Each structure stands twice: as structure tokens, then as C-alpha cells.
Amino acid sequence: MQAGIGVLAALLAGLFTSRVEMVWSALYGAAVVVVPGALMARGMTSRLSIVSPGSSALSVMVWSMVKIGVSIVMLMLASKLVQPLSWPALLATMVLCMQVYWLALLRRRR
């Protein structure tokens, strides 16, 4: 869902502004949320993370730190990888993608 919202935000940014840098910045903002989240999800489902409750707790901590670290590195590389970069488009798309967690929680509740 996060990737879909990110692509939708990038398409809307392109439609309303007609600026290519807005589209690429929005897509990169979505990637800053989606890639670390997918990496964490993959790590949390490994065999080592489900051996015992202690290893599960340690796995959550380690993969959370990896997720934060990858997000920070991706943000630091943003101005080098996306030329020209629109920080407002990147950050707005990041916020939108992060808010998808609320939709997932509401959907799961049903």
C-alpha cells in the first residue's frame, strides 16, 4: 500500500506541477519509506528471529535500527541521486507513505 500511495503521489505531483523533478523526488521519498520497511519485514521473518521470545525481541531491535539507518543513509544520498531535488515533494510523499500504517491498522481491525 505504501508503494502504491507513493506512486500515486508522484503521478499527482507530475500532473499538477508538470515538473519532472517533483515526480522523481516524490518517488524517491516513497522509496525512503518502502525500501527500509521491506528490509525490516524480510529480516523479521527470518528463521533466527522466531527461535525464542528473546531472539524475537532482539530481532525487532536490530531490524528497527537497520531500518532507521537505511532511511538516514537514503536521505543523505537524496541530493546526490535525484538531480534536481525537491525536498518538499520528497518529504510530503514520505509523510503520506508513513501514514498508510493507519489505513493498514484500520483494515486489519475489521
10 Å Cβ neighbour count for 81?
11
3-state helix, strand, coil in the chain (%, to 5): 85, 0, 15
**pLDDT for 110 beyond 70:** no
- Give the pLDDT of residue 44: 86
| Backbone angle region of 22, left / alpha / beta, with phi > 0 → left and psi within -120 to 50 → alpha | alpha
The average confidence (pLDDT) of the chain is: 92
- Give the pLDDT of residue 49: 74
Residues in the chain: 110
Write down the pTM of the prediction.
0.89
- Give the pLDDT of residue 51: 78
Give the whole-number percent of the chain exceeding pLDDT 70: 98
How many angstroms separate the first and last alpha carbons of the chain?
Answer: 17
How far is it, in rounded angstroms, from Cα 92 to Cα 63?
A: 25
- Give the pLDDT of residue 55: 82
Which tens digit of pLDDT belongs to each residue from 7-59? 999 999 999 998 999 999 999 999 999 999 999 999 888 877 777 888 888 88
How far is it, in rounded angstroms, from Cα 30 to Cα 46?
A: 25
